[in-house]
């Protein structure tokens, strides 16, 4: 592997190695050839999710008492890096299902947990997390999708957008406004696609098109109050706390992508000859490779630090924000440099770096943009919120 060493226990090294072999042999060809920029149907994606569950993806973040493998956060993130280095498209449903499963275990009623958690852990079902709306992005407090009470049901109307897993989803954990209080008026409600129904429309993007990102339309959808996740009005605080961990995963997604770009660039620089020698022997190419490798490793170490804080049971809001900010911006820089090292070949579809560069551009947007991470870091430094 063309990156610096990290400390791993024997168990972590074995788990990472086994997963890497599986991904290289069985998954990489799917995303680099058959489904390159082409939507992967649900049954094929579900087949992969089932296989990945055996390696501790999704199942890892759930405790053994609830049917999962109960891995620590650092190990889960090490495994997740491998998935992202193979395919960021594949890493999206892994991430979303993992955080849906984590939320269900932590907060949902025993009935909801019994009904929806086993399918997610096994890789049989898909969840979507519906926060963003056409008019609501960086400021979660402004959510407008309304849930109003009608006896023992919620009636939900609104529109969610940018929803990962949307087309695959069996259920949506929807952030709804249940009162006008900006902080204490948001509630998460589980909407079952088959029982309650919602309309899904795919979104075509610059990249990440092998998996689903969708708009979801809710038109007076009738859902039992028993499908409320956690206490009514308590979802904002929980969503913000949840971001702390999910941002570390989005950061690791960027690390995996950047590492792959570096690996591709190293291989190319060792093979391509110009001016009588391989381009790796030209000092300006060597400098670029050295900078790329240092960026990848620095980003990974920031993610590992956040994971170690999670595992120690400590808050890590600033550290997760630093990891997300740095890793996603590093991915953009590293992927661009990988294209540069490939010369003209780098902008053709014959080489993977073209796709990696398009994917990298997306990374600084979801789960809080780069600017939002900067604001969080600065607020932690000064105690003054600049947003
Ligand atoms: C591939 C992908 C997958 C996604 N998956 C999901 C999902 O599963 N579920 C979900 O709910 N959402 C999802 N999202 C949505 C994502 O979380 C939002 O796109 C993100 O929060 C930014 O919101 P926005 O796009 O509305 O941008 P806006 O909030 O409109 O921001 C536009 C620009 O203004 C900047 N900006 C905003 N506020 C400030 C400020 N106070 N100070 C300085 N700059 C500011 C932003 O940094 C950005 O540059 C996904 C998005 C993408 C691209």
Tokens representing residue 296 in the block = 């990848």
What's the structural domain count of the chain? 3
369 lines ligand 1 (CB under 6 A): yes
Task: Name the residue with tokens 């010369």.
Answer: 343
Around Cβ 267, how many Cβ atoms within 10 Å? 12
pTM score: 0.97
Band (4; pLDDT cuts 50, 70, 90): confident
Specify whether 37 is located in the same domain as 112: yes
**Atom 23 in ligand 1: which residue has the minimum CA distance?**
137
Band (310; pLDDT cuts 50, 70, 90): very high
Q: Could you say which of 125, 151, 181 is where a domain stops?
A: 125
Position 4 in a domain: no
Q: Could you say which of 125, 160, 191 is where a domain stops?
A: 125
Mean pLDDT within 341-348: 98
Position 352 in a domain: yes
pLDDT in tens, 236-269: 999 999 999 999 999 999 999 999 999 999 999 9
Specify whether 21 is located in the same domain as 88: yes
pLDDT in tens, 10-30: 999 999 999 999 999 999 999
Position 2 in a domain: no
Mean pLDDT within 284-290: 98
Instruction: Name the residue of 138, 175, 250, 361 to mutate for ligand 1: max ligand atoms within 8 A of Cβ.
Output: 138
**Which ligand 1 atom is at minimum distance from the Cα of 139?**
29
Specify whether 215 is located in the same domain as 268: no
Q: Could you say which of 95, 125, 155 is where a domain stops?
A: 125
pLDDT in tens, 37-70: 999 999 999 999 999 999 999 999 999 999 999 9
Examine the pLDDT at 2 and tell me if it is beyond 50.
no
67 lines ligand 1 (CB under 6 A): no
What pLDDT, on the 0 to 100 scale, is given for residue 3?
64
- For residue 212, give its domain range: 128-233
162 lines ligand 1 (CB under 6 A): yes
């Amino acid at each position: 592997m063309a990156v610096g060493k990290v400390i791993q226990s024997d168990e972590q090294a074995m788990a990472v190695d086994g997963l890497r072999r599986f991904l290289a042999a069985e998954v990489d060809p799917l995303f680099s050839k058959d489904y390159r920029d082409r939507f992967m149907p649900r049954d094929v994606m579900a087949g992969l999710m089932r296989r990945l569950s055996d390696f501790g993806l999704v199942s890892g973040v759930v405790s053994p008492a609830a049917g999962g493998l109960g891995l620590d956060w650092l190990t889960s993130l090490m495994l997740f890096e491998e998935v992202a280095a193979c395919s960021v498209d594949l890493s999206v449903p892994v991430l979303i299902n993992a955080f849906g499963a984590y939320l269900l275990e932590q907060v949902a009623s025993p009935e909801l947990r019994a009904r929806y958690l086993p399918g997610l852990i096994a890789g049989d079902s898909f969840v979507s997390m519906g926060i963003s709306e056409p008019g609501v992005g960086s400021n979660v407090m402004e959510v407008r999708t309304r849930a109003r009470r009608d006896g023992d049901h919620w009636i939900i109307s609104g529109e969610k957008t940018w929803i990962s897993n949307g087309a695959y989803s069996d259920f949506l954990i929807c952030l709804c406004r249940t009162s006008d209080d900006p902080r204490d008026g948001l509630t998460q409600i589980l909407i079952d696609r088959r029982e309650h129904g919602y309309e899904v429309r795919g979104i075509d993007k610059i990249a990440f098109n092998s998996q689903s990102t969708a708009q979801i339309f809710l038109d007076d959808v009738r859902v039992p109050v028993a499908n409320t996740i956690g206490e009514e009005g308590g979802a904002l605080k929980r969503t913000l706390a949840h971001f702390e961990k999910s941002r570390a995963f989005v950061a690791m997604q960027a690390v995996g992508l950047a590492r792959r770009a570096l690996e591709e660039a190293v291989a190319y620089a060792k093979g391509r000859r110009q001016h009588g020698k391989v381009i790796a022997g030209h000092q300006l190419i060597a400098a670029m490779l050295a900078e790329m490798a240092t960026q990848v490793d620095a980003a990974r170490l920031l993610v590992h630090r956040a994971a170690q804080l999670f595992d120690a049971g400590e808050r890590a809001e600033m550290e997760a924000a630093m990891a997300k900010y740095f890793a996603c911006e590093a991915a953009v820089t590293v992927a661009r440099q990988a294209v540069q090292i490939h010369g003209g070949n780098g902008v053709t579809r014959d080489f993977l770096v073209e796709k990696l560069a398009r994917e990298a551009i997306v990374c600084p947007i979801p789960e809080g943009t780069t600017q939002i991470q900067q604001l969080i870091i600065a607020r932690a430094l000064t105690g003054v919120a600049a947003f």
